[in-house]
Amino acid sequence: MEIQNFYKLLAPRPVVLISTIDGNGNSDAAPYSFIMPVSQNPPLIGFSSVNTRKTLKNIRETKEFVVNIPTEEILPDLWKCAQYSGNERNDKISYANLTAEKSGKVNVPRIKECMAWIECRFFFEKEFNDRVLVVGEVVECEGKEGICPLHIGGNKFGISSRRLTV
Ligand SMILES: Cc1cc2nc3c(=O)[nH]c(=O)nc-3n(C[C@H](O)[C@H](O)[C@H](O)COP(=O)(O)O)c2cc1C
CA dist., res. 160 & res. 162, Å (int): 5
Residue with CA nearest ligand 1 atom 15: 82
Give the residues across from 128 on adjacent strands.
131
CA dist., res. 44 & res. 78, Å (int): 24
For residues 81-99, give the mean pLDDT: 96
> Residue 160 is inside which H or E element, if any?
strand 156-163
The pTM of this model reads 0.97
CA dist., res. 44 & res. 111, Å (int): 21
For residue 32, how far is its CA from the centre of ligand 1 (angstroms)?
Answer: 5
For residues 18-23, give the mean pLDDT: 98
Name all domains of the chain by residue range, CATH numbers in brackets: 3-163 (2.30.110.10)
CB 48 within 8 A of CB 64: no
Average confidence score pLDDT of the chain: 95
For residue 164, how far is its CA from the centre of ligand 1 (angstroms)?
Answer: 23
Report how many helices (DSSP H) and strands (DSSP E) the chain contains, helices first: 3, 12
Q: What is the pLDDT of residue 166?
A: 63
Q: Which of 53, 62, 85 to mutate to test the pocket of ligand 1 (most atoms within 8 A of CB)?
A: 53
Confidence label for 146 from pLDDT (cuts 50, 70 and 90): confident
pLDDT digits (tens, 9 = 90+) for 97-125: 999 999 999 999 999 999 999 999 999 99
CB 65 within 8 A of CB 109: no
Q: What is the pLDDT of residue 56?
A: 98
| DSSP labels, 16-84 | EEEEEE-TT--EEEEEE-SEEEEETTTTEEEEEEETT-HHHHHHHHH-EEEEEEPPGGGHHHHHHTTTS
Ligand 1 neighbours (beta carbon < 6 A): 15, 28, 30-34, 48-50, 53-55, 79, 82, 84-87, 151
Confidence label for 41 from pLDDT (cuts 50, 70 and 90): very high
126: pLDDT strictly greater than 80: yes
Q: Report the sign of the C-alpha dihedral through residues 61, 14, 9, 37, in that order.
A: positive
Residue with CA nearest ligand 1 atom 4: 32
Q: What is the pLDDT of residue 165?
A: 64
Helix, strand and coil content of the chain, in percent to the nearest 5, comes to: 20, 45, 35
68: pLDDT strictly greater than 80: yes
Per the model's pLDDT, the better-predicted residue between 165 and 92 turns out to be 92
Q: Which of 34, 74, 129, 155 to mutate to test the pocket of ligand 1 (most atoms within 8 A of CB)?
A: 34
Q: What is the pLDDT of residue 147?
A: 86
Confidence label for 148 from pLDDT (cuts 50, 70 and 90): confident
